[in-house]
Amino acid sequence: MYCAVCRKYPKLADLTSPLYKGTGGNGKYRIETLKSHNGSATHQKCVNRSQIDQGNGDEPLPKLLKSAINNIINTAFYIANENFSFQ
């Protein structure tokens, strides 16, 4: 048993983690080990990266683009609504 998300991003993952290495034997882990891995910073980085790759993450650039587009639309609506475009 191993963590597929961490193995997908070896540059972000903790390479010494037992869940990164996996087990060759019976694959049994204590629940505390799984919870600890799930809460670890390196695993969360891998999960965030995975979500970004799947299009579910919050990327800084799209947030800025959404804000900029929202401002442009609001300005265009205000100009059209106040009939400033014909003055």
- Pick one of 3, 48, 63, 77: the residue that binds Zn ion (CB under 5 A): 3
Which span (25-33, 37-45, 51-59, 64-72) binds Zn ion, by CB under 5 A? 37-45
Region from 5-13, 23-31, 60-68, 71-79 binding Zn ion, contact rule CB under 5 A? 5-13
Residue 46 CB burial class (10 angstroms; 0-12, 13-18, ≥19): buried
Is the Cβ of residue 10 or residue 67 nearer to Zn ion in the bound state? Answer: 10
Measured between alpha carbons, how far is 30 from 39 in angstroms, rounded to an integer? 15
Of 2-10, 22-30, 50-58, 75-83, the window that binds Zn ion (rule: CB under 5 A) is: 2-10
Q: How many whole angstroms separate alpha carbon 14 and alpha carbon 42?
A: 6
**Which C-beta is closer to Zn ion: that of 5 or that of 29?**
5
